[in-house]
Amino acid sequence: MTITTVAHINLRGNAREALEFYQSVFGGDLIVATNTDAQNVEIPEEADQVSWGQVTSPSGFHIMAFDVPSSRPWSPGESPFFVSVRGTDETEISAYWERLSIGANTAVPLGPAGWSPLYGMLTDKFGVTWVLDIAVAYSA
């Protein structure tokens, strides 16, 4: 059996914009199904909002998102999760960092850390906290 863990982001009214932004950062394919497409329109004004969407790239990046309907409670929370992007190529991680940092608040600038030659943390313009680093073998 094989499973894949994918971050799923719950937004309100800007899931398409977020997914398009992540596609511009990581490349890959964007799929968006609106509430109309899913035949799940609760409120006519939300017909074109995202019922289900994702970005997948050949490098292995995969994220999902949807717009929480206004009929359901929703709060962006306080750092309820981080999306972690780990790689082995500093140039690739640095390029993702540069694109994600547009409009973001940097918590930890991208640079060397005690456990990794390259690590950084930022919260993007959609309120999603990202951790990017170079994966290295851990020895306790």
68-119 per-position pLDDT tens digit? 999 888 888 766 678 989 899 999 999 999 999 999 999 999 999 888 899 9
CATH of domain 82-134: 3.30.720.110
For 4-16, the pLDDT digits (tens) are 778 999 999 999 9
Cβ(9)–Cβ(65) below 8 Å: yes
Q: What's the CA angle centered on 62, arms 51 and 92, to 5 degrees? A: 140
Q: What average pLDDT does the structure give for the chain?
A: 90
Q: 88, exposed or middle or buried, with CB in 10 Å at 0-12, 13-18, 19+? A: exposed
Domain 7-67 classification at class level: alpha beta
What are the structural domain ranges in the chain?
A: 7-67, 82-134
